[in-house]
Amino acid sequence: MRRQLNTLYVTTDGAWLRKDGANIVMEVDGEIRARLPVHMLESLVCFGRVMASPPLLGYCAEQGITVSFLTPNGKFLARVEGPVSGNVLLRRQQYRCSDDAARCAAIVRNLLQGKLYNQRVVLGRALRDHAEKLKEDEAKALTQAHHRLERIADKLPQETSVDLLRGLEGEAAQSYFGVFDHLIRVDEPALRFGGRSRRPPRDAVNALLSFLYTLVTHDCRSALEGVGLDPAVGFLHRDRPGRPSLALDLLEEFRPLLADRLALSLINRKQLNERDFQVMEGGAVLLREDSRKTVLTAYQERKREELRHAFLEEKAPIGLFPFIQAQLLARHLRGDLDAYPPFLWK
């Protein structure tokens, strides 16, 4: 099992990162604010106007530490990494499978089984844990959405076309997000959810979800690269220049646990409120800098929690699950497993 190393998130606007021996040093306005040994890190993620010295970037590349640069709201800009590692034979199998309609559809079916199962867990837990707080129409809508997701999941095994599977995934997303607002238990109008919006997010909840999805995608991409797979060649998501399609595939299984459920917890526990978001010109809504730190702290804490992996029947930190799923996918592509076992949130 792969050791869970840390990801360093830098959110301070105007920060300057440099190398000092085997340490990363962060300076702001010429003053040292933080120092961290490089050997403790697996990746470095910089949000907004963060600068890094060439010696630090070169050293990180040598040490296998990926440096990613994102906008303040989490949109990917660029990555700096060393030589690509991985088994060329495994990647060839990945490319062949991506071009084989039947094999591709088999993987997509299992990915979506995992996603829909985990979405049903989110709705089911709300119905179970907050039944007395839900209005009658809210409970009815959640129950109906839960049943629709179950019916859609029942259709997946019969489909052999990836395009039709994508259509079922879209139908499931419409049902799931159609009742997502019923899971929010605060009264602030600014924290209501009126439907999924992206590029840019048009409300606070969408801004939070998009930010969390970016974090999970980063971890999924690192996991795939760690086992030698090409994160750009996926099965559910079509190939597109600059898009980590396979990382987005793997993300689908983890959205409910690592993003949706965490977003709801942050809002319902009032760790975030209307003041944590800002509305930009044009209507885009973004997380403020201090609020991003709150989300990052909660995300790291969630990754340290342990769950039992349904396929391996072993407990592991949640942060290791993307690596476990990447390993299982690699084993399937090599022929060691007859099918890809999806992540099921038990």
pLDDT at site 231:
92
- Could you tell me whether strands 23-28 and 31-37 are parallel, antiparallel, or unpaired per DSSP bridges? antiparallel
The DSSP-derived string for 306-334 is EEEETTTTEEEEGGGHHHHHHHHHHHHHH
The amino acid sitting at 212 is L
Q: Give the domain 6-80 fold.
A: Ribosomal Protein L15; Chain: K; domain 2 (3.100.10)
Tokens of 262: 């965490």
Q: 162 φ, ψ to 5°?
A: -65, -35
Contact 188, 211 (CB under 8 A): no
pLDDT tens, N- to C-terminus, the chain (346 residues): 344 457 788 878 889 999 999 999 999 988 998 888 888 787 788 888 899 999 999 999 888 888 888 777 666 778 787 776 667 889 999 999 999 999 999 999 999 999 999 999 999 988 887 777 778 888 898 999 999 999 999 999 988 999 999 999 999 999 999 999 999 888 888 888 888 877 788 889 999 999 999 999 988 988 888 788 999 999 999 888 878 999 999 999 999 999 999 999 999 999 988 898 888 877 788 888 888 889 999 998 998 899 999 998 888 889 889 888 998 999 999 999 999 999 998 8
- Could you tell me whether strands 314-317 and 306-309 are parallel, antiparallel, or unpaired per DSSP bridges? antiparallel
- Could you tell me whether strands 66-70 and 41-47 are parallel, antiparallel, or unpaired per DSSP bridges? parallel
User: What would the CATH number be for the domain defined by 89-334?
Assistant: 1.20.120.920
pLDDT at site 4:
46
- CA pair distance 211, 255, nearest whole angstrom: 12
pLDDT at site 114:
95
| H/E stretch holding 78 | strand 76-80
| H/E stretch holding 45 | strand 41-47
Contact 340, 328 (CB under 8 A): yes
DSSP 256: I
Find the angle CA(22)-CA(25)-CA(28) to the nearest 5 degrees.
Answer: 170
Cα–Cα distances in angstroms (integers) from residue 138 to residues 6, 127, 178, 183, 220, in the given order: 40, 9, 11, 9, 34
DSSP 342: P
pLDDT at site 92:
93
Give residues with Cβ within 8 angstroms of 99, minimum separation 6. none
Contact 217, 248 (CB under 8 A): yes
Contact 303, 319 (CB under 8 A): yes
Domain map (residue ranges) of the chain: 6-80, 89-334
For the chain, the average pLDDT equals 88
SS3 state at 116 = helix
